[in-house]
Amino acid sequence: MNQPQVAVDVTEVTVEFSRGRKREPFRALDRVDLDVRPSEVSCLLGPNGSGKTTLMNVLTGLVTPSSGRVRVLDLDPATQRRDLLRRIALVPQETSLYPELTARENLTFHARYYGMSAREQRTRIDEALELVQLGARADDRAGTFSGGMQRRLALGKALMMRPELLLLDEPTLGVDVQSREAIWNRIEDVAREGRAVLLTTNYMEEAQRLGDQITIIDRGVNVVRGNLNELTSQVPEVERVEVPLVSLQDVFLHFTGRGLRN
């Protein structure tokens, strides 16, 4: 399959819901634009309730927009959903793991449910466990894992599918620095392999570290788009926060090390 020039192409997308007891109309997204290219990590930023998850749902066909144009890997999520789902992977905010199953069993179930052949499963499951550094805990139940390990396992599920587009909804929410570092490394690897990544986050340093392109939305409306330099250049100097040469994260990693704590 030829790789498209633009993995995600969202133009003037509007999503309206009705909400509350009076079923009042509510505009979750209002003429939003977004594009994500292969080999890039695009970050979608916005305060809580700004419409980030709704946009993710639009891209996976879970929500059909009221108006606007959406193409994901040259497919229309609303009408070509099943074809699209074979080529993308989503790591939702909730880790979607079964606590009663082991890490390997979770991956095995996911692989089978997503139609992976038995031959592929054997190699890809082990590979995914190693990628997210959970090989040693493969046969422990997911319910016994820390929050960070569960996030890594959820990422492993997605990586195992080798998607052309990886969608990550707040992938490092509530995880420790070590797990975050591991997750970031894997995300960068995905982009380096030529695939596209779109992630939503509330962490500025995450966007700063990973984002080749950054889109900020607020109240369902595009606020600003561009790379880090383009964005920072738009802020008047007087309002800029001075960034120390050594960040707190560097200090923390220096003293606690980069080894993972499982």
Residues forming the site for another protein (CB under 8 A): 49, 53, 57, 60, 62-63, 82-83, 85-86, 90, 92-98, 100-101, 105, 108-110, 112-115, 141, 157, 169-170
Contact assessment for residue 166 and residue 10, using Cβ atoms and an 8 Å cutoff: no
* Residue number with CB closer to another protein (164 or 170): 170
Question: Where does residue 187 fall: left (phi above 0), alpha (psi -120 to 50 degrees), or beta otherwise?
Answer: alpha
State the helix-helix crossing angle for 147-160 and 103-113, rounded to 10 degrees. 30
Minimum Å gap between C-beta 236 and another protein is 33
E strand residue ranges, the chain: 8-19, 24-36, 41-45, 67-72, 88-91, 165-169, 196-201, 213-218, 221-226
Q: Give me the least distance between CB of 214 and another protein, in Å please.
A: 21
- Least separation, in Å, of the C-beta of 82 and another protein? 5
Q: Which is nearer to another protein, 202 or 208 (CB)?
A: 202
Q: Closest approach of Cβ 149 to another protein, in Å?
A: 14
Q: Which residue has the tokens 């790379």?
A: 227
Alpha-carbon separation of residue 187 from 11, 47, 170, 208, 217 (angstroms): 26, 22, 13, 14, 22
Q: Name the pairing type of β-strands 196-201 and 165-169.
A: parallel
User: From the CB of 112, what's the least distance to another protein, in Å?
Assistant: 3
User: Given the complex with another protein, which of 104 and 180 has the nearer CB atom?
Assistant: 104
Shortest reach from residue 85's CB to another protein, in Å: 4
> Nearer Cβ to another protein, position 88 or 231?
88
Quote the DSSP letter at residue 130. H
Q: Which is nearer to another protein, 43 or 84 (CB)?
A: 84
- d(CA 211, CA 201) in angstroms, rounded, equals 10
The residue (of 163 and 211) whose beta carbon lies closer to another protein is: 163
Selection from 256, 174, 220 nearest residue 13 by Cα: 220
Q: What is the per-residue burial (b if ≥16 Cβ within 10 Å, else e) of 98-117? A: eeeebbbbbbbebbeeeebe
Q: How far apart are CA 122 and CA 108, in angstroms?
A: 9
- DSSP assignment of 139-167, as one string? TSBGGGS-HHHHHHHHHHHHHHT--SEEE
Cβ 114 to another protein shortest distance, Å: 5
Which CB sits closer to another protein, 10 or 167?
Answer: 167
